[in-house]
Amino acid sequence: MKKIYFALLACSLPLFANAQEAFDALKMSQKDLCGTARFQSMAGAFGALGGDISTLTQNPAGVGVYRSSDVNVTLALDFNNTQTPNVSNNETNFSAPSIGYVGAIKLNSDFMPNLNIGFSYNRQANFKRRYRGYNNGAPTSVTNYIAANTGNWTPNDLSQSERDPYYNSNAPWISILSYNSYLINENNKRWQGLYGDGTTAYNEFDVQQEGHNDEYSINLGGNIKNMLYWGVGVGISDFVYDSYQYYGESLDNAYIANYQTNDIEIGVADFGFEHFLHTTGTGYNFKLGLIFKPINELRFGAAFHTPTYFDMKDCYKSNASFEMSSSEKNSYYGTNETGDKGFYDEIRYSFKTPWRFMGSVAAVIGKSAILSFDYEYVDAPSMRVADDNDYEYVETTNNIKSYLKASSIYRIGAEYRVTPNFSVRAGYSLQKSPVEEAVQSNSMNVVTVNTNPIYEFDNDIQHITAGFGYHYQSFYCDLAYVHKTQKSQFNAFSPIVYGGGEIEPNVFSEVKTNTNRVTMTLGFRF
């Protein structure tokens, strides 16, 4: 039977990791197109231009371009539509994603005309999103996957007793939770799930996410002979992320254990897992950059970002609700959870994001037009996770290297001055997915944290942007429209890939999020 086939793999799959998994790390490291309205309307292609407060978080040399002081605030309104194949969900979000100040200090020197200092707050990522979906006719069940990953752990290792198995057993928590909810059973010393030959399955899921990644920047930059602009900066990051994930299945002709006779009986099973995660952290990074202007019509830019070094804390819990009855009128129902009330456990760890490199070129055409191009390289496999004593989680690091690859971001932007006071802008950006093709095609075993087999990842992300700006004397107002298309994949659990290349499929769903953002920046130069 298919159930037995899964169980035979038990000893060959790795156990669940003890820290953040690779795709959680990826989420914590990714950045969105955020900043001032002018910056967004040109898709963030400012690496060789500068003169905008958003460059404090991109190319710090941009602060050296300023000839006067500047203060501004940016407001944004997001309209999100997230779709799965069967369900659509709409949300609206208001924020103030950027606030900044640049102070220009005139040095009265031909060699260095000015020295500038900048302070900014910038929202690097907004995690607010919800999506739901369901599938009929799933090819397997998460219980079979959990059974295959339970390995050689015994019922005594997994059972509820005077000792709490979540604290006192090294077995995966999802296996403990499933065993005590009658979702996996031992038959002839082999763990089995509920799905076998003749089983039909219906599944549903609901994912809700909240939070942000904010950065507070301090930059110092200058101008050397109006030809070479330099800048250095330090960023302080504030990370908050909340996640609720539900995954449930309804099975007909399920393989249900009779604990009195140790037999397997056919019946009906309904169950659902809820997973809660609250993550907070603070970190720091350093940036340095240059802008070179050999002639007035041409500019080159380069910037390097060190990793952001985070101190993180996770609080989490999971629960399982179940109701099942067999053909022999045996029934089981109830709820089990990893903790009594609130979040069950807390893990502190350190996390290092990828380093980044940016190269840029911009052309100034006459006195009316600007065309700019940026390329950014992100070394995702360089991410590292360690405990609070700085001992590396080697398995998680190896998984990051296996599942992720270096990725590229391309940005192009243009501005045309219609009148001395009025400008129009447009841009486009493409962020290539850092996820390996084997993961995207569901042909690789994916290890997750020990409480939750669910994982998700983004594919390519693109932005189409437009906007305009108006300035009058020292005052200016910029407006931007951004259309973001984000395709991702929800996976209820990993496929199981055998040594010979045969694959037992998983349950997954495509998720598409369209975000329409309207942004306004109000500023004053003096």
DSSP per-residue letters across 324-393: EEETTS-EEEEEEESSSSS--EEEEEEEEPPPEEEEEEEEEETTTEEEEEEEEEE-GGG-EEEETT--B-
The band of 389, judged by pLDDT with boundaries at 50, 70 and 90, is confident
pLDDT score of 170 more than 80: no
Looking at residue 9, its pLDDT comes to: 42
Which of 87-91, 252-256, 375-379, 496-500 comes out lowest in average pLDDT?
Answer: 496-500
Model confidence over 200-245: pLDDT tens digits?
A: 999 999 999 999 999 999 999 999 999 999 999 999 999 999 999 9
Looking at residue 318, its pLDDT comes to: 87
What's the mean pLDDT in 384-388?
89
DSSP class of 440? H
What is the distance between the alpha carbons of residues 84 and 203, in angstroms, rounded to a whole number? 14
- Report in angstroms the alpha-carbon separations of 128 from 80, 90, 94, 243, 272: 9, 11, 11, 10, 23
Model confidence over 40-65: pLDDT tens digits?
A: 999 999 999 999 999 999 999 999 99
What is the distance between the alpha carbons of residues 327 and 333, in angstroms, rounded to a whole number? 16
pLDDT score of 162 more than 70: no
Model confidence over 257-282: pLDDT tens digits?
A: 877 777 888 999 999 999 999 999 99
What is the distance between the alpha carbons of residues 59 and 301, in angstroms, rounded to a whole number? 8
Looking at residue 17, its pLDDT comes to: 38
Residues in the chain: 526
What's the mean pLDDT in 412-424?
96
CA end-to-end span of the chain: 77
CA atoms within 13 A of residue 336's CA, in its CB half-sphere: 23
Please say whether the beta carbons of 464 and 428 come within 8 A: yes
What is residue 397's three-state secondary structure? helix
The band of 454, judged by pLDDT with boundaries at 50, 70 and 90, is very high
**CB count in 10 Å sphere of residue 378:** 24
What's the mean pLDDT in 448-472?
91
What is the distance between the alpha carbons of residues 70 and 175, in angstroms, rounded to a whole number? 57
In whole numbers, what is the pLDDT of the chain averaged over residues? 89
The domain covering 2-525 belongs, at the CATH homologous superfamily level, to Outer membrane protein transport protein (OMPP1/FadL/TodX) (2.40.160.60)
Q: What is the 3-state secondary structure (H, E, C) of 416-436?
A: EEEECCEEEEEEEEEECCCEC
User: Residue 65: what residue type?
Assistant: V
What is the distance between the alpha carbons of residues 205 and 493, in angstroms, rounded to a whole number? 12
Looking at residue 22, its pLDDT comes to: 87
Nearest to 182 by CA among 259, 114, 110: 259
Nearest to 76 by CA among 114, 130, 39: 39
Nearest to 41 by CA among 442, 415, 307, 398: 415
pLDDT score of 14 more than 70: no
- What lies within 8 Å, CB to CB, of 167 at 6+ separation is none
Looking at residue 450, its pLDDT comes to: 63
Nearest to 451 by CA among 193, 241, 323, 276: 276
Phi, psi of 175 (to 5 degrees): -70, -40
Domain ranges of the chain: 2-525
Tokens linked to 282: 């603070």
pLDDT score of 345 more than 70: no
Please say whether the beta carbons of 15 and 151 come within 8 A: yes
Looking at residue 387, its pLDDT comes to: 86
What is the distance between the alpha carbons of residues 234 and 216, in angstroms, rounded to a whole number? 8
Nearest to 411 by CA among 43, 40, 37: 43
pLDDT score of 350 more than 90: yes
**CB count in 10 Å sphere of residue 67:** 14
What's the mean pLDDT in 462-469?
97
Model confidence over 121-157: pLDDT tens digits?
A: 999 999 999 999 998 888 899 999 999 888 888 888 8
